[in-house]
A and B are shown apart, each in its own frame.
Chain A
Amino acid sequence: MRAVCWHGSKDVRVEEVPSPEILNPRDAIIRVSSTAICGSDLHLYNGAFPGMQAGDVLGHEFMGDVVAVGSGVSNLREGDRVVVPCVISCGSCFFCKRTLFSCCDNSNPNAVATQDAFGAPMAGLFGYSHLTGGYAGGQAELVRVPFADFGPVKVPAEVPDEKVLFISDILPTAWMGAEYCDAKPGDAVAVWGCGPVGLLAVMSLRAMGVERVFAIDRVPHRLAKAETLGATPINFETQDVYQTLHDQTSGLGPDACLDAVGMEAHASGLLGVVGRVKQAIKLETDRPSVLREMIHCCRKGGTLSVLGVYSGPIDSFPMGMAMNKGLTIRTSQVHLHRYRDDLLRKVLEGTLDPSLVISHTLALEDASRAYQLFNEKLDGCTKVVLKPSLPAGATPTPVS
């Protein structure tokens, strides 16, 4: 089969690799109809996340048709159309029982190694390094899905892929982040980052009834999209974020701040330069400028909702500011199975339309170009969907 393989920093190739097989009773094999590149894939693309090996198949946002199931899967059958959660969860461990699905104890074959790295075994994710299990990802024609009796959600045949694909990751991620903000009537929420997750967080917050949402980025086409979704855009290259937010919130600061950026934040000024240098020479794995700014801007007693991906320790974390302001920090990988069914219902009803964030649909064969477009935000790129069925070289089709 054809698959998108990681070979190093800014080096992804579409290659012929062996097709996956059923290895465990609870496995299924999915033939991918649509898959997307996630902002977190860019951390791998840029070589910022550890534990990757040349040849690893990328991708954790995908959907398609079931082509085979193991002897332990009774709820799926060949031909079912499913969206697959990016987080692999067993459904029966201490954590899954408490709906902390992204903390699953049983889904990572390399759990002991991650326990050494993080102090606790991490759950398995598709196509996201050997730290999270070394599972082959979904940017491929076929994928093996473990615990397939628990994760995948069936979708009706008549709904287009574009509407439901993002239930695999970014829609539940954004929704969870919006929920973490715990916004009360009258509250204002500021969202850092207008990539796909930031935009869907704006959409989610608005759908939850939050009246005032600010969206912070520096890419004009993304800020414009955030504005159409109902946010007040703030361009951090031309506006002072702290001053603007305080001016707009009666001098208090936003009641909650949401990080949809993560470890490769772009900051202006000296700290931004220092961060990039440290990351480049491996003194620091993550650049936490968004976290610092959120702590600075948030109102006293407010909440930080951290969705951005971080991998290691960070320096210059203003803990004193966070402590004295009485902030609450809420963060996790997405506890996807908690939101899956409810969000599918909202999408089918038309309450949420996550397909609005798609800017490009390309052939899987053109993944290398797709990564470049997305990473460099070229050609108005916000979100790329890859289709194994499209012929190589098919013209990039702006969807909206």
Chain B
Amino acid sequence: MKWISLVPVIAVGGLLLFAAQDFPEWGDPQSPASQSPVSSHFINNTGVDTEVPNMVTAVLADYRGFDTMFETVVVFIAGIAVLAILKGSGGRRRGARRTYEVEAEPDLIVTNTVRLVVPVIQLFAFYVLAHGHVSPGGGFQGGVVMGASFILIALAWDLDHALVRMTLPRCMAIAAAGIIIYGGIGFLSMFLGGEFLDYAELERVLPVSREMARYHAMLGVEVGVGFTVTSIMFALYANLSSEGRLKGGL
């Protein structure tokens, strides 16, 4: 099977390399991708339209906000699906546990270091979320760092220690709240007279100009994304490491 499967793989590779010869040189500023009017519009007009220095965050949360909303929904659905597949399927530990596994006591150095470091990590996650307009960062990155802090608690002690702080029903509620925030800001713009996710219409409720309304609505939208991503990342880890039982685990 391994040698037969090489044939279609190499055929595909040959076709792709044959096409790759016609690409513009790597890094060419005159390539069609770099000259595209859409990208030029984004580069030239992000500052004027939204007053956000980070073009990637502006495009992600404002110009292409619809994509980001459904990406958040995809993450939420993945979390729910993992819950649906694994919940109640673990049962008791099947078979004999392998001999190399020893139920380890929480180690003194690891637990005390984690105790000191986790608040700093969470503060950094908030910083990454809030500063995403000006520096690399944003909702996804901040949310994942926050979820990783809970996973770190689960790794240093055991899973119950982390589940006490972030129970799975609360995880799902926070994930749903994130999507509701995102959709809520979109519907609010619609009720105020604009299109769905047209943040400039929020100037009627906020005492700022149209551009700054887009700036602040982007922050609200990123907060929603961050909520969903952090809770789903932790729920993913909790379900996978304990086979849905939520006891024991890594």
> Do the two chains belong together in a single complex?
no
Chain A residues within 8 Å of B, Cβ to Cβ: none
